[in-house]
Structure 1
Amino acid sequence: MKVMQLLPELNSGGVERGTLEIARALVADGHQSVVVSNGGRLVNQLENEGTTHLTLPIHKKALSSLRQIRPLRKLIETEQPDIVHVRSRVPAWLTHFALKGIPAHKRPHLISTVHGFYSINRYSQIMTQAEKVIAVSDSVVKYITDHYKNCPPQDIVRIFRGIDPKAFPHGYQPSAKWLLDTYKDFPQLEHKFLLCLPGRITRLKGHETLIALIEQLHTQYPQLHAVIVGGADPKKAAYLEEMEKSIASKRLTDKITFVGHRSDIREWLAFCDVALSLSNQAETFGRTALEALSLGTPVVGWNRGGVAEILSRLYPQGLIAADDHAALLQAIQQQVDDPQPVAPVTQFSLKDMCDQTLQLYKQVALSK
């Protein structure tokens, strides 16, 4: 079987990670794997793992991208994949037009994955116009069935994203060297009960909620300290400054630490006592919450989207009614006074995700 995946670029993010994971699984199972994108820093890894990468500028949401229809059609005709798997809207539209110019009996099968709660319009509808539409959570299944009646329910296949439990083993602890380095860089974190808010600095992630939480609890629990793990894009510098001023005005500078963008997220999630998921909008999956639970770190989060699906199955005591700040306060007090352990995670594995996706490919490839 030959599968061609299409996405805008290969730099970082959940879509990119998923593409690499499926490419690796295809190669391991003896199939041919091809990825088409505008390139990026993950191309080397992809190629080293046995996938062919073809560079095509299919990343821009602009009319000029229509010039790529013919080159993409030529690529598809040359490569002759059994399946084309689109993971983003611009590549999906270009593929739609490219396939129209190929005789029906020579066209590959078409699969899409809906990774996000896209704006509801004709432009986004293209993601639901494939033979099979993969939804990354039950929340995404509901989003598609509620908003895109053109997509037959039997064509939607729910395949949860997954993580490798070996990469996030239950009970994992950072090395002594990591701890020494961290306490050297951030001495204020030693002997504290640490709340971790992972994610980039944007208004969506719930930083204001965290600041209000610390303001309410720091007198009662002097050992409580918040760690914000994530960097600020240059465009978000003003928001970061606004937050820092708010923290200073509340006299909480010694209670909240920004550690910036980190590549050692596993260490931070294992190091902290509780991880938080306080996004103002529903996330389609909630990988970071799953990674924390896999390590054995309790997660407290709003009852929204994919995070709610993970918590309801793995750690229901961490699930809080969305935007119920009193319940959030109570949940954190409970965690400080009497920490609730997390059982080893046996669901949402990377292997399950890959197995189910390859099974779908095979099923579609064998259909007429």
Structure 2
Amino acid sequence: MKVLQVLPSLQGGGVEVGTLEIARALVAAGHDSWVLSAGGGMVARLQEEGSRHVEWNLGKKSLLNVLQIRKLRRWLAQEKFDLVHVRSRMPAWVVYLAWKKMPVSKRPRLMSSVHGLHSVSRYSAIMCCGERVIVVSKTAREYVTSNYPDVDPSKLRLVYRGIDPARYPWGYQATEDWKQKWFQQYPQLRDQFVVTLPGRITRLKGHLVLLKVVRRLLDSGTPVKAVIVGGDDPNRMGYRKEIDEAIQQAGLQEAVVFTGQRSDMRDIYSVSNVVLSLSTKPESFGRTVLEALSLGVPVVGFAHGGVGEILAALYPDGAVALGDEAGVAEAITQLKQGKAGDLKQNNLFLLSNMQQQTLSVYRELVP
């Protein structure tokens, strides 16, 4: 097959990582893998792994993109792709409008993926334009069937995201050198019971819930340290100020550590006693939850969205009803007292499964 994946850029992020993972699988299976984007730091790796990259910015939210439709249609006809897989809304619109006017006998098959639970709108509906539509969780499938009733459910295909167990091996431990540097930077975490909340500092991630949980734990005689791993959102600095003020008011200055954005999450998970997922809105999947659980680190989280699906499969004792702060505190207390339930090894949400299943969906369209 000659396959083209289309997305806004290759700067980094979950969709971008998934694009490279599928490109790698295509190359390994002997297919011709192409990616179209505005470029970015991941292009070199993509090309090193055997795919071709076409630099073309279709992701900018501008009416000027309409001017690119005819040019794109000519290029698609020229390159004779067997299949085009769109992964983001604005590029999907441009590709779809170009593809729709091509002769049926000469146009490639069209695939799309629903990676996120976007605001429901005609603009977002384009992610269901494919002749097959991959949904990354049962939650994402429910989002489509509930909000876009005109979409034929028979064309939806559930393909869970997955991780490489070689990258996130069960029982992984950071090196002594890494630990030494970590505890030099954060000496207050040494020999402490650490709860970690990963994710960018935005309101949806539930930082204010974390502070209430920590205060509840301390008041009940359960000493913990909370580590917040994630960069500030420059457009939401008012929220960061709100968090800082809440820490002051609750007297948690000594109990909360901010690390900023880090690239060593695997090591941070390994020195955490519990990882938390406190998102107030459901996520389509929940990669950080899966990463931690795959290492054997317990996760306590609100059981909704994709996070709820992962917890149900791998660590049901970590699942807490949405908004139940007391339940989160109790689950952490149980872990601290050594009363944790069984944590199952991840044999379901695997990168190899995701790659094989995605290529199988491609083969439905290009036998």
2:188 corresponds to: 188
Deviation at 1:339, TM superposition (A): 4.6
What does residue range 1-368 of structure 1 map to in structure 2 within 5 Å? 1-221=1-221, 223-340=223-340, 342-366=343-367
Q: C-alpha root-mean-square deviation of aligned residues, in Å?
A: 1.2
Q: Secondary structure at the residue paired with 1:105?
A: coil
Matched to 1:113, the amino acid is S
Partners of 2:266 and 2:121 lie apart in 1 by 37
Partners of 1:34 and 1:216 lie apart in 2 by 52
Identity over aligned residues, as a percent?
Answer: 46
Partners of 1:45 and 1:289 lie apart in 2 by 26
Cα offsets for 1:273-298 (capped at 9, x unmatched): 00000001000000100000000000
Q: Secondary structure at the residue paired with 2:111?
A: strand
Deviation at 1:242, TM superposition (A): 2.3
Q: Secondary structure at the residue paired with 1:150?
A: coil
- Conservation of the 8 A alpha-carbon contact between 1:168 and 1:295: yes
Structure 2 residue ranges without an equivalent (≥5): none
Q: Secondary structure at the residue paired with 1:106?
A: coil
Deviation at 1:230, TM superposition (A): 0.6
Partners of 1:331 and 1:72 lie apart in 2 by 53
Matched to 2:55, the amino acid is T
User: 200-209 or 325-334, which moves further after superposition?
Assistant: 325-334
Partners of 1:222 and 1:185 lie apart in 2 by 24
User: 117-126 or 35-44, which moves further after superposition?
Assistant: 117-126
Deviation at 1:249, TM superposition (A): 2.5
Matched to 2:295, the amino acid is L
Deviation at 1:240, TM superposition (A): 1.6
Equivalenced residue count is: 366
Structure 1 residue ranges without an equivalent (≥5): none
User: 41-50 or 277-286, which moves further after superposition?
Assistant: 41-50
Partners of 1:163 and 1:194 lie apart in 2 by 24
Q: Structure 1 residues 149, 278: closer, same or farther in 2, change over 3 A? A: same
Give every structure 1 segment of 4 or more consecutive aligned residues whose post-TM-superposition deviation is greater than 4 Å: none
Partners of 1:339 and 1:270 lie apart in 2 by 19
Deviation at 1:125, TM superposition (A): 1.4
- Conservation of the 8 A alpha-carbon contact between 2:217 and 2:223: no
- Conservation of the 8 A alpha-carbon contact between 1:56 and 1:68: no
Q: Output the TM-score relative to the length of structure 1.
A: 0.97
Q: Structure 1 residues 337, 78: closer, same or farther in 2, change over 3 A? A: same
